[in-house]
Chains A and B, each alone.
Chain A
Amino acid sequence: DTGVSQNPRHKITKRGQNVTFRCDPISEHNRLYWYRQTLGQGPEFLTYFQNEAQLEKSRLLSDRFSAERPKGSFSTLEIQRTEQGDSAMYLCASSLVAGDYNEQFFGPGTRLTVL
């Protein structure tokens, strides 16, 4: 399968714990994005990387959130001291820089439940 992959697919944690998610983009894609989606809403942008550089962070990305893409390949998203409001689907997408149309392809997501 050459699509975007994410691990784990589901994560249940207790409030206050730290969690880390991983995303492996499509191999030739140089841009990688993280989004968060809650029930009944469209995905909301969190942050994106071009190669290993983190170029933009949303206001949604509080100090408890950190993302890395150390070698310009896979990325990790860590949430420290989780809160119940962090419960959501965390989606990763990747794209190839080419022209004006930034077509992004999504992974299956990591569903986080904070108890």
Chain B
Amino acid sequence: RKEVEQDPGPFNVPEGATVAFNCTYSNSASQSFFWYRQDCRKEPKLLMSVYSSGNEDGRFTAQLNRASQYISLLIRDSKLSDSATYLCVVNSPTGRRALTFGSGTRLQVQP
């Protein structure tokens, strides 16, 4: 089983739609969580950190459910510019400071 699992998509949605991505992680001791965005042939860019209480940044809302080991990202009022791959990322504890990435969920927003 992969440490971080995501639905690869693609998710094809019209402009203005609301879309949600989910992600599960296997290490219950994981301490920090992120969503990164990656455009085609570019580097991953940090979209938002995901806190236990959930957090919102404009049209983006992230939720964390530690009991179910589940992370979500909600995008409201989708824009064409939101088309990208969204990577769910987990930072496991105790010595290993590297990030563990899911394979990504591809979003295509259509006019």
Bound together, the chains give a CA A100 to CA B33 distance in angstroms of 10
CB distance from A69 to the nearest CB of B (A): 14
On whether A56 and B46 interact (CB within 8 A), knowing A100-B31, A101-B32, the answer reads no
Bound together, the chains give a CA A111 to CA B41 distance in angstroms of 9
* Interface: B42 (CB within 8 A): yes
Complex: chain B residue closest to A40, CB-CB: B103
Interface residues on B, range: 20 to 34
Give the A-B pair count, Cβ closer than 8 A: 58
Bound together, the chains give a CA A35 to CA B100 distance in angstroms of 10
Interface residues on A, range: 20 to 34
In B33-49, the 8 Å CB interface with A consists of: 34, 41-46, 49
* Interface: B72 (CB within 8 A): no
Produce 1/0 per residue, B42-69, CB < 8 A to A.
Answer: 1111100100000000000000000000
In B80-111, the 8 Å CB interface with A consists of: 87, 89, 91, 95-104
* Interface: A65 (CB within 8 A): no
Complex: chain A residue closest to B48, CB-CB: A103
Within 8 Å CB of B43, what residues of A? Answer: 91, 106-109
Bound together, the chains give a CA A56 to CA B4 distance in angstroms of 20
On whether A42 and B98 interact (CB within 8 A), knowing A103-B46, A103-B49, A105-B46, the answer reads no
In A23-76, the 8 Å CB interface with B consists of: 31, 33, 35, 40-45, 48, 50, 55-56, 58
Within 8 Å CB of A44, what residues of B? Answer: 101
In B2-17, the 8 Å CB interface with A consists of: 4, 8
Q: B46 touching A100 by the CB < 8 A rule?
A: no
In the assembled complex, 26 residue pairs joining A and B whose CB atoms fall closer than 8 Å, in A order, are: A33-B98, A33-B99, A35-B98, A41-B103, A42-B103, A42-B104, A43-B44, A44-B101, A45-B98, A45-B99, A55-B97, A56-B97, A56-B98, A91-B44, A93-B99, A101-B32, A102-B91, A102-B97, A103-B34, A103-B46, A104-B46, A104-B99, A105-B46, A107-B43, A109-B43, A111-B41
